């Protein structure tokens, strides 16, 4: 004999969800049985976001900022009392401010000029004309400068002249293609300035001359790096220096550099320091007269021709042979959303709203035809598809021809509206 069954109401009360004040029980039950919220689907858009753009370009931006800061720092440092190589106003290691100061202490004035006209006008019997880089001068400049200094009776000092400038400024002197292997050389000549200076840093370009009255000093392998050439009429002379080291600020206190430089430049009361410049009017005129191909060295022309021939041969070697088309499988699988978005971007880039609208309408007609019993071959015929759709729709009197076979939209907003209307039409047909 069993006892009475215990009541089940307390158990039901324990499992029943608690209700909040003011909420009906039905709503509470629905809230407790509703499925949990699903996470939002991940975006498949490939459009670059500002965060992606910054992540990709921050390295380049940082490099540009560093380069800009370095350029500003270098410009600020160089602008502090520095003018350039062999400049008597420059305090840089390769400047000549120290030599100009020593000359001033001995009563020799130094004047800086940057044009051939100024240098030729300043030449005279009491002037030493120093040309820092004769090879920068054009042929007309060298000829004019030589004509102005030949009969002046002064001294002309040429620093490391090469083959182009020696022909005009120091006729009869040739430059050896090999430089001296030693930097410090002994005079080994009878020139008083060189004998008093002794050893000096004259290792550089070596020269050769057939002039019998030339003084050749600081020889290396039988060829000198300093030549003193008297003028033909016996007034004035030309000094050719194969190395600029004796003029530099950081080398002036070594060996006999200071003594040699002071004697070569301080033999007359005035020094005209000629710094050839591209801003010279005569140089600009000569450059304008020459054509583009005249400014290109001959070696570059032959090199360009050889590169062109090599490029043609490489093109013939690697050219594709004509043959039948071969179908190849794609190396990777592309998601449909990416393909759709890529094509949409192409349409938008060229404003091809007509092609986009035609693609949307064609796809809609292809999906709607089986739903209303129209064969796929007749899906794109208005006389067959539109009556079948009108019979299926609940709302009568709707003209579907402009929607499915109408003209292309005039702007992007109309294209978006067309896509929405096509979607709405498909949903209505499916539900009907």
Structure confidence by residue, pLDDT tens digits, 96-134 = 999 999 999 999 999 999 888 899 888 889 999 999 999
Instruction: Please indicate, yes or no, if residue 410 is contained in any of the structural domains.
Output: yes
Position 220 in a domain: yes
Q: Does 346 share its domain with 283? A: no
Helix-then-strand count for the chain, H and E:
16, 9
Q: Are 206 and 179 in contact (CB under 8 A)?
A: yes
How many domains is the chain partitioned into structurally?
2
Residues 365 and 273 in one domain: no
Statement to judge: residues 284 and 341 lie in one domain = no
Note the pLDDT of residue 36. 52
What is the reported pLDDT for 210?
84
User: Does one domain contain both 350 and 218?
Assistant: no
Lowest model confidence (mean pLDDT) among 30-39, 50-59, 422-431: 30-39
In CATH, what number is assigned to the domain containing residue 228? 3.40.50
Q: Exposure string (b/e) for 259-290, b if CB count within 10 Å is 16 or more?
A: bbbbbbbbbbebbbbbbbeeebeebeeeeeee
Q: What is the mean pLDDT of the chain?
A: 82
Q: Is residue 268 located within the same domain as residue 402?
A: no
pLDDT at 15 over 50: no
| Residue 297 clears pLDDT 90, i.e. is over it | no
Domain that holds residue 401: 337-431
pLDDT at 232: 77
Rounded Cα gap, residues 309 and 302, in angstroms? 11
Residues 391 and 262 in one domain: no
239 CB neighbour count, 10 Å cutoff: 23
DSSP 251: G
Residue of 214 and 318 predicted with greater confidence: 214
pLDDT at 212 over 60: yes
Span 153-173, mean pLDDT? 90
- In-domain check, residue 240: yes
- Is 354 part of any domain? yes
Is 330 or 153 the better-scoring residue by pLDDT?
A: 153
Would you say the C-alpha torsion 334, 337, 338, 340 has a positive or negative sign?
A: positive
> Residue 252: which residues within 8 A CB-CB, separation 6 or more?
98, 99, 102, 246, 258, 261
Other beta carbons within 10 angstroms of residue 183's beta carbon come to 15
Other Cβ atoms within 10 Å of 175 Cβ, number: 21
Tens digits of per-residue pLDDT, 355-374? 999 999 999 999 999 998 99
**pLDDT tens readout for residues 59-85:** 888 999 999 998 888 776 655 444 678
**At which of 288, 304, 323 does a domain end?**
288
What's the Cα-to-Cα distance from 12 to each of 7, 8, 25, 136, rounded to whole Å?
Answer: 10, 6, 15, 107
In a domain? residue 43: no
Q: Over the stretch 188-202, which tens digit does the pLDDT of each residue have?
A: 999 999 999 999 999
Q: Residues 141, 241: one domain?
A: yes
Among 44-48, 115-119, 342-346, 385-389, name the one with the lowest average pLDDT.
44-48
Q: 321 falls in which pLDDT band (50, 70, 90)?
A: low
E strand or H helix at 431: helix 412-431
Q: In terms of pLDDT, which residue wins out, 46 or 381?
A: 381
34 has a pLDDT exceeding 90: no
Whether the predicted pLDDT of 20 surpasses 60: no
pLDDT confidence of residue 80? 45
What percent of the chain clears pLDDT 90, i.e. is strictly above it? 40
The contacts of residue 13 (CB under 8 Å, 6+ apart) are none
Residue 390's pLDDT band (cuts 50, 70, 90)? confident
pTM: 0.52
- Does 402 share its domain with 281? no
More confident site: 151 or 86? 86
Q: Residue 306: which pLDDT band, with cuts at 50, 70 and 90?
A: very high
Alpha carbon of 311 to those of 38, 304, 306: distances in Å? 61, 10, 9
Predicted local distance difference test score (pLDDT) of residue 408: 92
Place of tokens 């000096």: 200
Q: Give the pLDDT score at 397.
A: 67
The answer to whether residue 21 scores a pLDDT higher than 60 is no
What is the model's pLDDT at position 418?
93
Structure confidence at residue 49 (pLDDT): 80
Q: Say yes or no: 275 and 358 in one domain.
A: no
Q: In the prediction, which pLDDT does 16 show? A: 42
Same domain, 284 and 170: yes
């Amino acid at each position: 004999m069993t006892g009475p069954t215990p009541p089940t109401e307390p158990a039901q009360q324990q499992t029943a969800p608690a209700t909040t004040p003011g909420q009906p029980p039905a709503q509470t039950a629905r809230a407790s049985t509703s499925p949990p919220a699903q996470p939002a689907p991940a975006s498949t858009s490939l459009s670059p976001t500002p965060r992606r753009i910054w992540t990709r370009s921050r390295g380049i931006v940082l490099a540009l900022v560093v380069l800009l800061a370095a350029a500003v720092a270098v410009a600020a440092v160089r602008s502090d009392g520095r003018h350039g190589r062999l400049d008597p106003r420059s305090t840089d290691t390769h400047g000549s401010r120290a030599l100009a100061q020593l000359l001033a202490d001995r009563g020799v004035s130094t004047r800086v000029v940057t044009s051939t006209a100024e240098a030729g006008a300043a030449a005279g019997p009491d002037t030493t004309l120093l040309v820092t880089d004769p090879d920068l001068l054009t042929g007309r400049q060298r000829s004019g400068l030589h004509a102005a200094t030949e009969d002046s009776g002064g001294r002309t000092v040429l620093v490391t002249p090469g083959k182009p400038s020696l022909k005009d400024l120091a006729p009869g002197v040739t430059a050896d293609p090999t430089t001296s292997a030693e930097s410090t050389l002994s005079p080994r000549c009878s020139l008083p300035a060189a004998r008093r200076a002794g050893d000096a840093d004259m290792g550089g370009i070596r020269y050769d001359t057939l002039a019998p009255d030339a003084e050749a000093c600081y020889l290396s392998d039988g060829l000198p790096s300093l030549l003193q050439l008297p003028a033909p009429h016996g007034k004035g002379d030309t000094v050719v220096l194969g190395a600029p080291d004796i003029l530099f600020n950081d080398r002036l206190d070594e060996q006999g550099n200071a003594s040699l430089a002071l004697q070569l430049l301080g033999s007359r009361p005035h020094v005209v320091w000629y710094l050839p410049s591209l801003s010279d009017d005569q140089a600009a005129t000569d450059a304008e007269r020459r054509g583009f191909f005249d400014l290109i060295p001959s070696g570059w022309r032959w090199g360009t021709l050889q590169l062109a021939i090599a490029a043609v041969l490489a093109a013939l070697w690697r050219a594709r042979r004509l043959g039948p088309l071969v179908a190849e499988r794609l190396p990777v699988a592309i998601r449909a959303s990416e393909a759709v978005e890529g094509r949409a971007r192409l349409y938008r880039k060229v404003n091809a709203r007509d092609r986009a609208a035609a693609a949307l309408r064609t796809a809609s007609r292809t999906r709607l035809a089986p739903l209303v019993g129209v064969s796929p071959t007749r899906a794109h015929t208005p006389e067959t598809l539109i009556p079948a759709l009108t019979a299926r729709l609940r709302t009568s009197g709707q003209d579907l021809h402009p929607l499915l076979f109408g003209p292309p939209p005039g702007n992007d907003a109309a294209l978006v509206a067309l896509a929405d209307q096509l979607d709405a039409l498909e949903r209505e047909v499916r539900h009907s």
